[in-house]
Amino acid sequence: MATVELTMENFEQTITDNGFVIVDFWAPWCGPCKGFAPVYEELSEKYPDIVFAKVNTEEQQQLGAMFNIRSIPTLMIFRDQIILFSEAGALQSSMLEDVISQASALDMDKVREEVATKQQDQESSTTETKVGKVPPGPQS
Backbone angles phi, psi at 63, to 5 degrees: -65, -40
- Length of the chain counted residue by residue: 140
For residue 30, indicate whether it is catalytic. Answer: yes
Rounded to whole angstroms, how far apart are CA atoms 91 and 102? 15
| Catalytic site residue from 15, 23, 33, 90 | 33
Rounded to whole angstroms, how far apart are CA atoms 104 and 79? 9
Contact 4, 54 (CB under 8 A): yes
| Catalytic site residue from 30, 63, 90, 103 | 30
Contact 83, 34 (CB under 8 A): no
With residue 110 as reference, give the H or E element that holds it. helix 108-133
For residue 33, indicate whether it is catalytic. Answer: yes
Residues labelled as active-site residues = 30, 33
